[in-house]
Amino acid sequence: MKADQTPAPKILVLASGSGTNLQALIDASRERDFPGEIVAVGCNKPKAFALERAAQANIETFVVDHTKYDSREAFDGALMAEIRRHNPDLIVLAGFMRILTTDFVRALRGQMLNIHPSLLPKYTGLNTHQRALEAGDDTHGVSVHFVTEELDGGPVIAQAEVKVLEDDTPESLAARVQEKEHLLYPIVVRWFCEGRVQLGSDYVLFDGELLKSPMRLPDSE
């Protein structure tokens, strides 16, 4: 509950790995004027470090271990039950490495964000840093988008660019992209919680207007 007694939008974060984006969101959510509250963190891997980060921040956690389910539908059903229990306004995928079923994604339409390490629509899927290097791109980056049925294909809300350096390796490039991720995701989550971004039929509404191209984080490099 924030100072004006209006309940803050509830955020549920799903992660599979180390959770550096989760940490950036936790840190941002501790700022006095942050307009949302992280109510739970869910993981599909019982040993994900993201769970420790959440526990250290006194955030409730849950695990839905995908290896214990026979099908994607069964896994998604169990995950949905956990999500419903927390009744969030927003689901934030932060390195959640499971492909979700169409029914699951449809049920949460307009309420689920993902961060993807490329300048979408370039390089959906995996190994984005390597693919940007192999293609000889001068610029790479990160996108935050609404989740729709199409993998990494939902309307993009915001992007941040990173210049590719001559001696970059996938690892060095990934590290600089991650710095941008940690800046960008809290900004977009804040916008969502403030009611500034919404999903239209196949576009983003920003402050009630059609967003013609993704918002850009100013390039500080």
- Among 116, 129, 140, 145, which one carries the catalytic annotation? 116
Cα 16 → chain centroid:
12
Tokens 């403030």 map to which residue?
194
Interface residue with ligand GRF, options 9, 17, 110, 153 (CB under 6 A): 17
Radius of gyration of the chain (CA): 17
Interface residue with ligand GRF, options 41, 91, 115, 157 (CB under 6 A): 115
Among 136, 139, 138, 127, CA closest to 171: 127
The distance of closest approach from Cβ of residue 6 to ligand GRF in the complex, given in angstroms and rounded to an integer, is: 29
Q: Is 204 in the site for ligand GRF (CB under 6 A)?
A: no
Interface residue with ligand GRF, options 35, 36, 95, 154 (CB under 6 A): 95
Q: Is 153 in the site for ligand GRF (CB under 6 A)?
A: no
Q: Is 170 in the site for ligand GRF (CB under 6 A)?
A: no
In the range 171-200, which residues lie near ligand GRF by CB under 6 A?
Answer: 178, 181
The distance of closest approach from Cβ of residue 107 to ligand GRF in the complex, given in angstroms and rounded to an integer, is: 21
String marking each residue 23-62 x if it binds ligand GRF according to CB under 6 A: ----------------------------------------
Q: Is 145 in the site for ligand GRF (CB under 6 A)?
A: no
Interface residue with ligand GRF, options 8, 10, 18, 130 (CB under 6 A): 18
Q: What is the number of other CB atoms lying within 10 angstroms of the CB of residue 122?
A: 16
Q: How far apart are CA 198 and CA 157, in angstroms?
A: 9
Binding-site sequence positions for (6R)-10-formyltetrahydrofolate: 72, 97-100, 114
Binding-site sequence positions: 19-21, 72, 97-100, 114
